[in-house]
Structure 1
Amino acid sequence: MGGEADHTRLDLEVIRGMGTGLSTIKKAFDGLEKLGDKYEDDFGDGDLAEKFGDFASNWEISREKLTGEVDALAQIAKAAAKAYEDIDHQLAEAIRGAQDPKKGRK
């Protein structure tokens, strides 16, 4: 049976990479043109133009929500990687301090 270390092992590069990748996706969404502005005139007048307008409007609202959620996940992943890295450094320092009896005496 595995020890406690099996449950706390993290790949910080994967977590950090996830944050970077999600930020890239957010930037791509931010750079998309509004569909209605780009193709509005191509549909002319009538039902098809109205349906496309509805679709473009709904897509814009959904894209904004999705962009916000992707950005939030990116920030969480980056913060998690930083927090785990800080904890790892603090634990390493504590272990080094415990192993070096000279450090404890001043």
Structure 2
Amino acid sequence: MSGEGDRTRADLDVIREMGNGLARVKKAFEGLEKLGGKYGEDFGDRDVADKFEDFAGSWEINREKLTEEVAALAKMAKTAAKTYEDIDHALAEAIRNAQDPKSKKKGK
């Protein structure tokens, strides 16, 4: 958004694309495979394997939280763009009706 005098302008395409981009990030996070329980033997050292399992468990929990937050942000961005667009259309319609003398009769 950028200030233009007394008016505020929102770039709806940018906001909408941000929502779409965040939705893609969420989908990518959901598509990541689980790390835990798969690579223990590959480390060759039980201590290293245990540390990796701790990391994998923590990553899974935090990835789920992050996925939820990204999904919420995506929804907010898409909703904001739609709301701004709806308001813009309503304001434009109100201005058109105010400028058209015939529209006053329609409103009665």
TM-score scaled by length of structure 2: 0.89
Equivalence map 1:1-106=2 (5 Å): 3-5=5-7, 8-44=8-44, 46-106=46-106
1:35-75, Cα deviation, whole Å (9 max, x unpaired): 11442332245101100000000000110010000000000
Does the CA contact (< 8 Å) of 2:29 and 2:63 recur in 1? Answer: yes
CA distance in 2, matches of 1:78, 1:66: 18
Select the structure that is richer in strand.
2
Select the structure that is richer in helix.
1
* Structure 2 runs not aligned, ≥5 long: none
Higher RCO (CA 8 Å, separation ≥ 6 residues): 1
CA distance in 2, matches of 1:104, 1:75: 38
Q: Which moved more, 1:57-66 or 1:41-50?
A: 41-50
2:36 aligned counterpart, secondary structure = helix
* Structure 1 runs not aligned, ≥5 long: none
Does the CA contact (< 8 Å) of 2:40 and 2:46 recur in 1? Answer: no
CA distance in 2, matches of 1:69, 1:41: 34
Change (3 A) 1:28 1:37: farther
Identity of aligned residues (%): 69
Matched positions, count: 103
Partner amino acid, structure 2, of 1:96? R
- Deviating 4+ runs (over 4 angstroms): none
* Superposition RMSD in Å: 1.3
Query: Deviation of residue 105 (structure 1)?
Result: 1.2
